[in-house]
Amino acid sequence: WPFLDLVVWLYLIISLIMIPAMFGFSLGISETYMTILMKILEWATVKIQKANLDVELKASASNGLIQREDGSMEKELGELRRSRPKPPVGGDFTLSDCFYFSRKGIESIVEDEVTQRFTSEELVSWNLLTRTNNDFQYISVKLTLVYGLGIFVRYCILAPLRLTLALIGLSWLVIGTSTVGLLPNSRIKSWLSEWVHVMCYRICARGLSAAICYHNRENKPKKGGICVANHTSPIDIVILCNDSCYAMVGQIHGGLMGILQRAMVRSCPHVWFERAEMKDRHLVTKRLKDHVNDKTKLPILIFPEGTCVNNTSVMMFKKGSFEIGATIYPVAIKYDPKFGDAFWNSSKYSMVSYLLRMMTSWALVCNVWYLPAMHQQEGEDAVQFANRVKSVIAHQGGLIDLQWDGGLKRAKVKETFKEQQQKKYSSMVVGDDSSSNRHEVWRVWHLNNP
């Protein structure tokens, strides 16, 4: 009997989920599930809002505790100095300048713009998941019963199903790419490789109950280019590769990840580096250039932020991928936190723990926007080009555009950034004096403010 049950279980998975996923169509099961889930969450939201709770539901956690002004240092200091006439010659210093720096310091202590980007996004209303129920308590018997039923559905029905699909998808990826890798290089091999990759990623996406809406598919990345996207989770790869095939860039790993990398590179020219090679910028740039110069190879998929951000903002893009001179295809990814938190907090959860959390969430719902191709303009350096691409992605995804480096998640602020702010204020104090005098004032300031 157990063997018969297993056969029936696998037959249902293959016939109702895997085969439709392989060929990119749906039998309507996922759509029906999402419709029912939406109605349940809407009903729960109404119940919560009707309850007399001493909790103010905020429009969005991204608004934060502090309302910051978008003005520059010069503009804000100018407002403080308005009541004091400016000297006719040279720069000036007023005691009121201290209020600006004191306010900025207090704002950063209470709620800085960096660390809050590495915590899960708060929700407007409880989505019947324990991990997001920090602000709500017992409300009604009906809501408690629905919550208990949800636990049973997520852990006893969805989790085993999703785990089975994930194992099948990864197993097929290893077997399929290894088999295709045995074929001689030809168009048939390239086509089979792309089909195997997309098919396996689609199976894995079904294993997360992913509901993905792709916009502007006419702008999809083309061969010989670089696809850059904001980064929330390792699942971003599954989301994008569910619709197209890409060449990956990354460091060679051991264990299960290493097995996947070795199998994938047999059939597709992914760009893997040894740990020592990753530190050689010239070598990395050369290999990327060689890849994009071959117009028969797949577009490279890169996440320039270099770390996962909680999908409320986009942080500084590393300039490496923008120095190559290739066509850049921006992609904006925005998850709906109402159905599950897609953000991977690597400082708090291991990869296995994170994936288990995702498999016990309601679903993975997101929008993907393919944006028009972008090229480096004349006179524009790599940093300016990266910032321009980042702004376009942030605007399309409804994300906050931040200049901070995502590396601050584990590192301190670079001294060069501090010096940049000091020089900016020093130039305001010195005014239009000669460059030598300006340099002397900057030297004294720097000595007194190490």
pLDDT level of residue 238 (50, 70, 90 thresholds): very high
Q: Is the pLDDT of residue 171 over 80?
A: yes
Backbone phi, then psi, for 368, in 5-degree steps? -125, 125
CA-based end-to-end distance of the chain: 75
- Could you count the other beta carbons within 10 Å of the beta carbon of residue 287? 15
The closest of 345, 371, 336 to 212, measured between CA atoms, is: 336
pLDDT in the model for residue 410: 66
- Read off the pTM: 0.78
pLDDT in the model for residue 59: 41
Q: Is the pLDDT of residue 273 over 90?
A: no
In order of start, what are the domains of the chain with their CATH numbers?
140-409 (3.40.1130)
Distance CA(33)–CA(261), nearest Å, equals 34
The closest of 206, 281, 201 to 234, measured between CA atoms, is: 201
- Cα–Cα distances (Å) from 128 to 132, 149, 340, in that order, read 8, 10, 10
Q: Quick one: CA torsion of 282, 284, 288, 291, rounded to 10 degrees? A: 100
CA atoms 403, 408, 414, 419: torsion sign: positive
Distance CA(191)–CA(168), nearest Å, equals 21
Region 186-200 average pLDDT: 90
The closest of 55, 193, 189 to 124, measured between CA atoms, is: 55
pLDDT in tens, 206-230: 888 899 999 999 999 998 899 999 9
Region 280-307 average pLDDT: 86
pLDDT in tens, 94-143: 766 777 777 777 776 666 667 777 777 767 667 777 665 555 556 778 88
Distance CA(12)–CA(59), nearest Å, equals 42
pLDDT level of residue 147 (50, 70, 90 thresholds): confident
pLDDT level of residue 403 (50, 70, 90 thresholds): confident
The closest of 201, 185, 187 to 244, measured between CA atoms, is: 201
β-strand pairing of 364-370 with 328-335: antiparallel
